[in-house]
């Protein structure tokens, strides 16, 4: 079952299974995933699950939703996608197994996670090179189907 990884304010990593057709994300206590960020809207985004297809939809939030650094309206998620809502960063994981705290931390913090990455591939990464690459500024909102 796909899931979201999220590090809360205490440093604890939450694994949020995406088992229902829709999962709401936002600052509101009524959200399925409550985000602790003043830059997140009360009803910020919605994740739609339709079998293997998982889509994130921005709910016309003030500060927008970024996937892999790009501002989106709607985006079909792929394993390893990084989602930024306000000051909260989440990672979409399309793995069925339950992750240990260490595995979840590695997946959450790994730069440029590729869709083919498996849990045993971590020794192949050059963290210094990945960290030193500058991010390009976001200039426009893109829509992915």
pTM of the model: 0.71
- pLDDT (tens digit, 9 = 90+) per residue, 104-140? 777 777 765 544 344 444 344 444 444 444 444 444 4
Q: Name 43's Cβ contacts closer than 8 Å, sequence gap at least 6.
A: 24, 26, 28, 31, 59, 61
For 6, the token pair is 């999220």
**Any idea what DSSP says for residue 35?**
-
pLDDT, tens digit (0-9, with 9 covering 90-100), for 36-53? 999 999 999 999 999 889
Determine the Cα–Cα distance for residues 5 and 15; give it in Å rounded to an integer. Answer: 5
């Amino acid at each position: 079952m796909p899931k979201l990884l999220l590090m809360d304010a205490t440093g604890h990593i939450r694994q949020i299974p995406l088992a229902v057709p829709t999962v709401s994300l936002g600052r509101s206590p009524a959200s399925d995933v409550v985000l602790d960020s003043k830059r997140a809207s009360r009803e910020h985004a919605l994740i739609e699950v339709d079998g293997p297809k998982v889509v994130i939809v921005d709910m016309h939030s003030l500060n927008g939703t970024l996937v892999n650094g790009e501002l989106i309206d709607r985006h079909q998620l792929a394993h390893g996608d990084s989602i930024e809502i306000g000051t909260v960063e989440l990672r979409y994981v399309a793995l069925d197994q339950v992750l240990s705290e260490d595995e979840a931390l590695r997946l959450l913090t790994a730069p440029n996670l590729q869709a083919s990455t498996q849990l045993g591939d971590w020794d192949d990464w050059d963290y210094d090179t990945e960290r030193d690459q500058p991010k390009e500024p976001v200039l426009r909102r893109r829509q992915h189907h």
